[in-house]
A and B are shown apart, each in its own frame.
Chain A
Amino acid sequence: MNRALRLLRRRLVGSVFVLLIVVVGTFFLLEAAPGDAVDAYIGSIGGDAGLAELLRQRWGLDQSTGTRLAAYLWALLHLDLGHSVAFSRPIRDILLERLPNTLLLMGSATALSFFLGSALGIVAGARPGSFRDRFLSIGSLALYAVPGFWLALVLVIVFAVDLRWFPIAGIETIASGKTGLARAADIIHHLVLPVTALGFIYLALYLRMMRAGMAEVWRQDFVLALRARGIPRRRIVLAHVARNALLPLVTMLGLQSAQMLGGSVVIESVFSVPGLGRLAQEAVTARDTPLLLGIILISAVLVVVINLLVDLAYAFLDPRVGASEAGA
């Protein structure tokens, strides 16, 4: 426990610097993009020159880049994320509204790809070179090669338009007035397709990694020893080969969480899920710098937290990791 706390403290200090770099970097990146929030807005409504000036003044865009960055960081220090001009609302409210949807989508998709992927990986890796292995390996490769948006559109056409098993879009039935369990069931019903689309793309990764890891472990001496001792094959597969092959998958899980946020931009747009990914795209299009910074910040926190959890899980799965951290 003590070891874990020390790891936590060290990570938190490092994370603050990571977040600061991310915020300042993003600010300048968006600053470098041509056009500002007023350009993005006025292109959609038209208006005279005075109007653009009026809006720039109201939105504080007539200030210099340095002033705006300083003002933003100062507000951030007071835990104020600012006001979104593209949505005319406080950014904190917008993020709090969208975050649960993204977490739900990402969490479910990650769980699906991790558990189903590693389970299938174990099936394939139990007997490398068997028919089952070949079938799963080729199948997963094909799945991995499919672009995410295409898979999403196919799922929509087959399961939402033709079969009508699932709704096409949204996170829940509009203005349904459902509460409690009925609402939860409604949300699950809406999430089946987006979670499948997002999860299936990454499933192949876990499957192939698990399978490759297991193939490696099979060749090691201790497996031979286990077999010589007459341990049942089932037990060897699950308790020894699979467990040893699991470590890289956990590392992958941490890395993947960051990537999945990117993948959710597409999936959230296709399925009209009001999440952070779609919001990020809208923030860039509208050149809403504070909103994008808020999203990046919350995503960065998310990634840092997940990686911390992964490290802790690592320490649990592999005693060697914890030992080296404790010694440092």
Chain B
Amino acid sequence: MPQFILSRRTLMTASAALLASTALPSIARAQASGGRLVVAADSEPPNLNPAIVASNGVFFVASKVVEPLAEAAYDGKDGLAPRLAVSWEGAADGLSATFKLREGVKWHDGKPFTSADVAFSALQVWKPLQNLGRTIFKDLVAVDTPDELTAVFKFGKPTPFQLIRNALPVVTSVVPKHIYETGKIEDNPANIAPIGTGPFKFAEHKAGQYYRLTKNEDYWGENQPLLDEIIYQVLPDRAAAASALEAEEIHLAAFSAVPLADLDRISKVPGLQVVTKGYEGLTYQLVVEINHRRKELADLKVRQAIAHAIDKDFVVKTVFLGYAAAATGPVPKNDPQFYTPDVETYPFDVAKANALLDEAGYAKGADGKRFTLKLLPAPYFNETKQFGDYLRQALAAIGIDAQLVNNDSAAHQKAVYTEHAFDLAVGPPVFRGDPAISTTILVQSGIPDGVPFSNQGGYKNEELDAIIEKASETLDASARTELYKEFQKKVAADLPLINVAEWSFISVARDSVKNIANNPRWAVSNWADTAVEV
């Protein structure tokens, strides 16, 4: 069935963005509408409000119920498609941004959606409470609402609109003011049973069993949604999703719920397809985090030696079974705006690595070892753990004795990001479409202890800090992009951390599921045009 997706993609690129957005429902309408889609879910987030918790686990369910101002798109202007906002514009001075909102949108309880909801969400939820919004909207001081369909964001400091725009799909889920204005926002029952404007209404959650979403008959999208119901069946066991697909109990397993090792077998099962698209907007990066407090690791030559000791292609082939790309720097190759290949590279070369270590003054001892390091692979993914095993062997080849310490999530979080009880760690940070969202903090200095996925290795580089600072106030998009190219070059040259690979997730779906993977954040988008052919 991949041809189907390809042909529609070609059609969409050929047409104008506007045409594409109107053509979508008509193509979909030709297919059977209605029905129930059953998908695998592996976690049940304690807080299901995407305005407070902007994470993939929450979005997977909640993005169908609560919508952002704009969603990522393959073909739209600036890589965006309108949702609750129909247009957006940043002021030249960077002190305001104006959003025109969609007309005739209703909340699931029937009340009209207005600019007051956007103002409330921005000031009361995104800025003070949201995991990512607390950083991105830190300079937001007010949201003016001249009329019901216009929201003007006012910033206390010039804020690049490029950043706000890039962050729109992730940080701007709008929640209803009339539901949240009474009582504490964090304790609102709508955090567990969300109320939004999306194509699906939240129906029920049976803990440990399933979530059920039902069709929103009053959705603003013409003839959308196509499905009557979405069920998220909770399948905590890694093998369960693959078995459930084979037994035709579920239609879709997203977010690599089917382990990579099973993909080869499952792709041969008739009626099932393996889809690698639809995750470009949520690229995970495999990085070696370095504790620069360690004398040896503070030496650039040692870091270079470690970079040369890692065979990135081998990692892509064996750890990721080909479902990844070798990384060159802190911005992934698939990013259309910021990536530059023009950086220092470290080809796999054990002899050179050994020479660099000798040069640095760490000669091999009688037992063939130069020094010992503590290596902590993050437990969140199979691949981070497997890469930890690989790295230990790769380091042994250059005389560095790495001792693996395996922890569970809570223990790893504390050991690496709070107590700094590591020399090397393997981490999976996420690139979210703009380096300022969650990438620059990986190398920036002055970050307090306890911040996950940030520079906790004690690295400090004033030049790099200056570039990051300057980019955060540069309003011109192309000048800002240039600064981030400079940033990539500096990081690749000085190696505050080592970027090894970049990967996205894989979906496995039955052939009967239509219109999958049609935007770069598909699994966490609204699924208004998803259909199941009967």
Cβ–Cβ contact A161 & B243, under 8 A: yes
**Chain A 44-71 interface mask (CB, 8 Å, partner B; 1/0):** 1111111110100010000000000000
Q: Is B191 an interface residue (CB 8 A)?
A: yes
Min distance, Cβ B187 to any Cβ of chain A, angstroms:
9
Q: Is B212 an interface residue (CB 8 A)?
A: yes
Q: A34-B415, A50-B134, A285-B410 are in contact. Are A43 and B249 (CB under 8 A)?
A: no
Cβ–Cβ contact A168 & B57, under 8 A: no
B208's nearest neighbour on chain A, judged by CB, is A274
Cβ–Cβ contact A52 & B450, under 8 A: yes
Q: Is A121 an interface residue (CB 8 A)?
A: no
In the complex, A168→B245 CA distance in Å? 10
In the complex, A52→B456 CA distance in Å? 15
Q: Is A130 an interface residue (CB 8 A)?
A: no
In the complex, A61→B108 CA distance in Å? 36
Checking B233, B236, B410, B438 against A36 with a beta-carbon cut-off of 8 angstroms, the contacting residue is: B410
Q: Which residues of B contact A (CB under 8 A)?
A: 38, 43-44, 46-47, 53-55, 57-58, 129, 131-132, 134-135, 186, 191-192, 204, 206-210, 212, 231, 233-237, 239-240, 243-244, 246-247, 249, 380, 407-415, 418, 430, 438, 447-453
Checking B204, B207, B380, B408 against A97 with a beta-carbon cut-off of 8 angstroms, the contacting residue is: B207
Q: A51-B134, A86-B46, A278-B236 are in contact. Are A174 and B209 (CB under 8 A)?
A: yes
Q: A49-B448, A87-B207, A168-B240 are in contact. Are A35 and B186 (CB under 8 A)?
A: no
What 8 A-B pairs come out closest when comparing CB atoms? Answer: A274-B208, A35-B410, A40-B410, A47-B131, A49-B448, A35-B414, A34-B411, A43-B413
- 20 A-B pairs with CB atoms under 8 Å apart are A34-B414, A35-B408, A39-B413, A40-B410, A43-B412, A43-B413, A45-B58, A46-B132, A47-B132, A48-B448, A58-B186, A85-B46, A88-B47, A156-B239, A156-B240, A174-B231, A269-B237, A271-B237, A272-B234, A278-B208
Known contacts A35-B410, A43-B413, A272-B234; 16 additional CB pairs below 8 A are A35-B415, A36-B410, A46-B132, A46-B453, A49-B449, A85-B46, A97-B207, A153-B239, A169-B235, A169-B244, A174-B233, A270-B237, A271-B237, A272-B209, A274-B234, A285-B409
**Which residues in A have their C-beta under 8 angstroms from that of B212?**
174-175
Contacts of A261-305 to chain B: CB distance below 8 A: 269-272, 274-275, 278-279, 285-287
Min distance, Cβ A95 to any Cβ of chain B, angstroms:
11
Cβ–Cβ contact B418 & A39, under 8 A: yes
Cβ–Cβ contact A44 & B409, under 8 A: yes
**Which residues in A have their C-beta under 8 angstroms from that of B47?**
88
Cβ–Cβ contact A170 & B209, under 8 A: yes
Cβ–Cβ contact B131 & A171, under 8 A: no
Q: Is A33 an interface residue (CB 8 A)?
A: yes
Q: A42-B452, A48-B135, A51-B134 are in contact. Are A94 and B237 (CB under 8 A)?
A: no
In the complex, A279→B204 CA distance in Å? 20
Min distance, Cβ A266 to any Cβ of chain B, angstroms:
9
**Chain A 135-171 interface mask (CB, 8 Å, partner B; 1/0):** 0000000000000000001001100110010011111
In the complex, A157→B243 CA distance in Å? 7
Q: A33-B410, A175-B231 are in contact. Are A46 and B131 (CB under 8 A)?
A: yes
Min distance, Cβ B171 to any Cβ of chain A, angstroms:
12
Q: Is A98 an interface residue (CB 8 A)?
A: yes
**Considering residues B407, B414, B453, which has the most beta carbons from chain A within 10 angstroms of its beta carbon?**
B414
Q: Is A41 an interface residue (CB 8 A)?
A: yes
**Which residues in A have their C-beta under 8 angstroms from that of B249?**
167-169
**Which residues in B have their C-beta under 8 angstroms from that of A97?**
207-208
**Which residues in B have their C-beta under 8 angstroms from that of A37?**
410
A43's nearest neighbour on chain B, judged by CB, is B413
**Which residues in A have their C-beta under 8 angstroms from that of B57?**
44-45
In the complex, A34→B415 CA distance in Å? 8
**Chain A 93-135 interface mask (CB, 8 Å, partner B; 1/0):** 0100110000000000000000000000000000000000000
**Which residues in A have their C-beta under 8 angstroms from that of B131?**
42, 45-48, 51
Min distance, Cβ B388 to any Cβ of chain A, angstroms:
16
Q: A43-B412, A168-B249 are in contact. Are A94 and B207 (CB under 8 A)?
A: yes
Min distance, Cβ B362 to any Cβ of chain A, angstroms:
30
Q: How many of A's residues come within 8 Å of B, CB to CB?
A: 53
Cβ–Cβ contact B410 & A160, under 8 A: no
Cβ–Cβ contact A46 & B438, under 8 A: yes
Min distance, Cβ A192 to any Cβ of chain B, angstroms:
15
B441's nearest neighbour on chain A, judged by CB, is A48
B55's nearest neighbour on chain A, judged by CB, is A45
Min distance, Cβ A139 to any Cβ of chain B, angstroms:
27
In the complex, A163→B450 CA distance in Å? 51
**Which residues in A have their C-beta under 8 angstroms from that of B53?**
45
Q: A44-B55, A49-B450 are in contact. Are A88 and B192 (CB under 8 A)?
A: yes
In the complex, A82→B392 CA distance in Å? 44
In the complex, A54→B133 CA distance in Å? 15
Contacts of A166-208 to chain B: CB distance below 8 A: 167-171, 174-175
Checking B210, B239, B438 against A175 with a beta-carbon cut-off of 8 angstroms, the contacting residue is: B210
B134's nearest neighbour on chain A, judged by CB, is A48
Cβ–Cβ contact A160 & B247, under 8 A: yes
B379's nearest neighbour on chain A, judged by CB, is A43
Min distance, Cβ A210 to any Cβ of chain B, angstroms:
33
**Considering residues A50, A86, A97, A272, which has the most beta carbons from chain B within 10 angstroms of its beta carbon?**
A272
Cβ–Cβ contact B413 & A35, under 8 A: yes
Min distance, Cβ B239 to any Cβ of chain A, angstroms:
6
Q: A46-B132, A49-B450, A174-B210 are in contact. Are A287 and B234 (CB under 8 A)?
A: no
Cβ–Cβ contact A48 & B451, under 8 A: yes
In the complex, A94→B453 CA distance in Å? 32
In the complex, A167→B38 CA distance in Å? 14
B232's nearest neighbour on chain A, judged by CB, is A174
**Which residues in B have their C-beta under 8 angstroms from that of A52?**
450-451
Min distance, Cβ B49 to any Cβ of chain A, angstroms:
11
Cβ–Cβ contact B207 & A170, under 8 A: no
**Which residues in B have their C-beta under 8 angstroms from that of A43?**
380, 409-410, 412-413, 452
